[in-house]
Structure 1
């Protein structure tokens, strides 16, 4: 009887452990309401955190104007939130100098949904993820990977930095904060499973994946081969509509001719790289702009309107997607 009791305890313990593991594995979910008439409007910016320098303040000013005019509901950041080496801790003044004191327009005092970039991983990652920063500025929400449900749309935020081999094999003089990521193989395997499962489970009209690193890009960093190999098959298999990233300090739109995915780069939040461009198939490349700016997006159940803005508030490029007709320029 004692043996049977011990076995029972072990079985129950194992079941509880497996149950807790499955709960932990599921990506954390958040919700954002749509407008009363059933639409979403938001801005997307990346690679910005330079204490207002390299035209960060000017980009923020235009974001505020566009955000007010078009009545946005939230802002998405595609990472590299604090240069050059992330935050040193929750009390780092760079949080105020690069975020709170820069994005001061009333229209930008909405929820910000942020992912980490490779420069953020050179600092204290846990600081950016901490609730302490949320208390300092209630707009701030940053996690490694998570899901945002906004009515008919779902946004899947993916932590892309741990996918890149060179950060582990040839980091140069940089030191990365891999706490919470090691062992890397397990972290990536679980993340890919979680993203795939969440996309399969989703019944959203629009599926948008947000990460820091480029997948298709004609800019400096170009194609991230690790994401092409590991993440793209999941995006294509689950009918993802858009992949939005930063990392390359430019604005880009690449329309994949082999799938429905629109690849949008918005890494022009501050420092830009002029003339750092490589050839890309003109049948796919709809926009390349080697300057600062951001993306505005307005969505309904059946249509999405995408507009790229430069530092002067000029519209550089627009693209409309219809769920009935699929897409047209």
Structure 2
């Protein structure tokens, strides 16, 4: 699609009274906050995105609460994705929402081939045009593949999604992906501490089904530098809340299974020795164990709230991969859960205060006939708060 045609469509839609825009309100400190830092497109250290605070946005002196929605595996462009988007808008209007987290597989089935690819419109901009919120995005295996099987064998394709973050010709400014992996801070907890810090992992070169011939994405050139950068960035963080997001599950009762034994019945056809996720498992534990309050992933097309495990410390593990597709569980008893739901579209809504997290799971009818609250629970903050510096 040419840029002139894209501008025409954008102006037509934005100028039409038939396209309402819902501005969700909630806790303070949304938007870009104090900005983000990131590895560059090939995974090296360096590069800083200072954020682009929306015009007229006023950040509070101290954040009392933040709320956000988590979706994954959404980029189908189908009726199901539109139905989930409509339900998200309704929940955001009623409950409040500062931003959205996208846990990967943003554009099915094989990502995009350029920053000007019309699939950015079909799989993201159009479905979420009624949500006036920033979306902080993570790469999925289908975003980094050149076949419909999503094997993650063409990781370079993910760079186009980073480029879209910086494009001056994009349809809206919602898409936030300053690098393939990055961190982002939100709000103010006082004592010169962010209220929340988000750490986004690029799991795909670490777990691809097939070996990528591009040497930029080997463990030596990409995996290890990402791990080193992430470990230091998390360790240096003074944020009150710390959450991590990745696409491939660390733990899951779905068909892909747990990191360290991913896709056991299919690995005979894979060429990447890291397809079992054993090195990825060690990566996640080294970077986030006893530090992160929450870990969000996708990949399995279901909703799961998995109880903390010893290797990761007190972090609660949430799979939210049902915003565009659904699946059966592979082994519903593999990991103990607080809640789980198969064969249903849906998303997760989270509200964080200084001391508590409220987590709600919503299921959505694929035909757009409605949504319902499937589960809600409020718990104390999992990781003990570090004392403020004198």
Contact 1:78 1:246 (C-alpha < 8 Å) held by counterparts: yes
Contact 1:253 1:263 (C-alpha < 8 Å) held by counterparts: yes
1:39 corresponds, among 62, 65, 68, to 65
Distance across 2 between alignment mates of 1:45 and 1:35: 29
- Runs of 4+ in structure 1 deviating by more than 6 angstroms, as ranges, are none
Distance across 2 between alignment mates of 1:57 and 1:135: 20
1:154 corresponds, among 170, 173, 197, to 197
1:50 corresponds, among 76, 92, 109, to 76
For residue 167 of structure 2, give the secondary structure of its aligned residue in structure 1.
helix
Which runs of 5 or more residues in structure 2 are unaligned?
A: 1-43, 54-58, 147-156, 188-194, 261-276, 365-369, 385-390
Are positions 1:289 and 2:341 aligned together? Answer: yes
Contact 2:198 2:243 (C-alpha < 8 Å) held by counterparts: yes
Highest Rg: 1 or 2? Answer: 1
Distance across 2 between alignment mates of 1:102 and 1:262: 29
- The equivalent residue for 2:27 is none
- The equivalent residue for 2:103 is 78
Q: CA RMSD in A?
A: 2.4
Contact 1:307 1:319 (C-alpha < 8 Å) held by counterparts: yes
Compared with structure 1, are the counterparts of its residues 119 and 302 closer, same or farther at alpha carbon in structure 2 (3 Å cutoff)? same
Report how far residue 184 of structure 1 moved: 3.2
| Alignment TM-score, normalising by the size of structure 1 | 0.81
Contact 1:298 1:306 (C-alpha < 8 Å) held by counterparts: yes
Distance across 2 between alignment mates of 1:48 and 1:139: 15
- The equivalent residue for 1:321 is 379
Report how far residue 41 of structure 1 moved: 1.1
2:91 corresponds, among 66, 90, 95, to 66
Contact 2:306 2:339 (C-alpha < 8 Å) held by counterparts: yes
- The equivalent residue for 2:132 is 109
Contact 2:315 2:382 (C-alpha < 8 Å) held by counterparts: no
Correspondence list, 1:113-262, <5 A: 113-123=136-146, 124-130=157-163, 131-132=166-167, 135-142=170-177, 143-151=179-187, 152-168=195-211, 178=214, 181-225=216-260, 226=277, 227-236=280-289, 238-258=290-310, 259-262=313-316
Report how far residue 82 of structure 1 moved: 0.5
Contact 1:244 1:264 (C-alpha < 8 Å) held by counterparts: yes
Contact 2:110 2:143 (C-alpha < 8 Å) held by counterparts: yes
Contact 1:76 1:112 (C-alpha < 8 Å) held by counterparts: yes
Contact 1:42 1:296 (C-alpha < 8 Å) held by counterparts: yes
| Alignment TM-score, normalising by the size of structure 2 | 0.69
Distance across 2 between alignment mates of 1:110 and 1:70: 14
Aligned residues: 289
- The equivalent residue for 2:32 is none
Distance across 2 between alignment mates of 1:153 and 1:75: 14
Contact 1:213 1:246 (C-alpha < 8 Å) held by counterparts: yes
Distance across 2 between alignment mates of 1:324 and 1:114: 24
- The equivalent residue for 1:268 is 322
Q: Deviations over 1:232-261 (max 9, x none)?
A: 23211x521111001000000101242201
1:298 corresponds, among 351, 354, 358, to 351
